[in-house]
Amino acid sequence: MFDFLDVDWWSLALPFAYISVLAGMLYTFSNIYRKRKASQLANLEPWFPPHLQRQVYSSLLEIAHSDAGEKKTKVPDSVIRAALLRRAVEDIGRIIQVRQAKQALNVLLQRGSVGEDLNQRFQRAEKEIEEELREVVMEANALVPGWGNTIFQSANEMAANAMVRERLDEIQAQTETEKEWWEKRRETIRQDFEKELNDEGQPKVDAKAVISDDDGVLVDSATATPSKKKKGKK
């Protein structure tokens, strides 16, 4: 019995070993390969920076829930509503960015000017923003029934309005420098004009003054032949 098993075992050992090594290699290979791929995907740089407004909103909700029973200041609902609105405004900005990027990206992809990983990052961003919108609408409806229908309308106007005001402020901020520039410029124009007038009106006096100021040695000859000197000076 023992002899029989022992022999059989040994003769089968080689094929078994072969199979197990093969299977092991395949397993490790696929494992490593998949892990690498996953980590590559996960390590793709996100399209957008972290969503600060969303963090604030979630943190406020967290504080509201944990504090509710015990102590001090309750977070008022109005603050949470404001935080959600801020979050919706940020989302609008992101949607606009995604829409703008989409066309350009498609063209670039067709030409092969950008890599596949950029495309993957983008698609992930698109999915994320869709999820985010749904979530915000749900949260809004939970806070105030029916708010989900209008929150993005309001947020849209808020984003656009903020942009208009920013541009207008930029333009209006130039007023002071423009004014200063013009004051100076007008002054120089006026001086030039006066000089011209003086030159035409009383050339002799002007010439004397200029020369005697500039150069003491020349004064004598200058008084003798003022008009000539003036020409020389100019």
Minimum Å gap between C-beta 121 and another protein is 12
Q: What is the DSSP string of 58-110?
A: HHHHHHHHHHTTTSSPPPPHHHHHHHHHHHHHHHHHHHHHHHHHHHHHHHHHH
Cβ pair 210, 233 in contact under 8 A: yes
Q: Which stretch binds another protein (CB under 8 A): 23-31, 100-108, 146-154, 195-203?
A: 146-154
> Which residues from 169-188 bind another protein, rule CB under 8 A?
171-172, 174-175, 178-179, 181-182, 185
Q: Which of 76, 115, 201, 232 binds another protein (CB under 8 A)?
A: 76
Cα–Cα–Cα angle for 90, 96, 102, nearest 5°? 135
Which residue type does 1 have?
M
d(CA 187, CA 139): 62
Minimum Å gap between C-beta 198 and another protein is 21
User: Does residue 42 belong to the site contacting another protein (CB under 8 A)?
Assistant: yes
Q: Count the site residues for another protein by CB under 8 A.
A: 56
Cβ pair 26, 63 in contact under 8 A: no
Q: Which is nearer to another protein, 22 or 138 (CB)?
A: 138
> Which residues from 187-226 bind another protein, rule CB under 8 A?
189
Give the residue among 85, 34, 35 at the shortest CA–CA distance from 60.
85
> Which residues from 151-170 bind another protein, rule CB under 8 A?
151, 153-155, 157-158, 160-162, 164-165, 167-168
Identify the sign of the CA torsion 42, 47, 50, 53.
negative
Cβ pair 163, 92 in contact under 8 A: no
Q: Which is nearer to another protein, 88 or 222 (CB)?
A: 88
The CA-to-CA distance between both ends of the chain, in Å, stands at: 129
Q: Which of 36, 127, 134, 195 binds another protein (CB under 8 A)?
A: 127
Residue 75 region by backbone torsions, left for phi larger than 0, else alpha for psi between -120 and 50, else beta: beta
User: Does residue 82 belong to the site contacting another protein (CB under 8 A)?
Assistant: yes
Q: Given the rule CB under 8 A, which residues bind another protein?
A: 38, 41-42, 46, 50, 52-56, 58-60, 62-63, 72-73, 75-76, 78-79, 81-83, 85-86, 124, 127-128, 131, 144, 147, 150-151, 153-155, 157-158, 160-162, 164-165, 167-168, 171-172, 174-175, 178-179, 181-182, 185, 189
